[in-house]
Amino acid sequence: MTTTQKAVALAALMIGIAVLAVFEIIPEQFAQFGPMALLAMFPGIWLGRSSRCARGC
């Protein structure tokens, strides 16, 4: 999966959280902090680290 695909997937997750909050499927408190939690759980996506470069760049 390329970095662009990972970023698009992360953005889709963030939008999905917002949509679920609008329809009151998830609590508002989770929707407020969900995107930041996603960034904390997947730092390689927003930092742009590639597994290829981590080995020996």
The predicted-structure confidence for 18-47, as pLDDT tens digits, reads as follows 999 999 999 999 999 988 888 888 776 767
Is the pLDDT confidence value at 57 over 60?
Answer: no
Q: 17 with 34: CB under 8 angstroms?
A: yes
Number of domains in the chain: 1
The predicted-structure confidence for 7-18, as pLDDT tens digits, reads as follows 898 899 999 999
- Could you report how far apart the first and last alpha carbons of the chain are, in Å? 19
Tokens describing residue 37: 């939690």
- Domain of 26 in residue numbering reads as 3-56
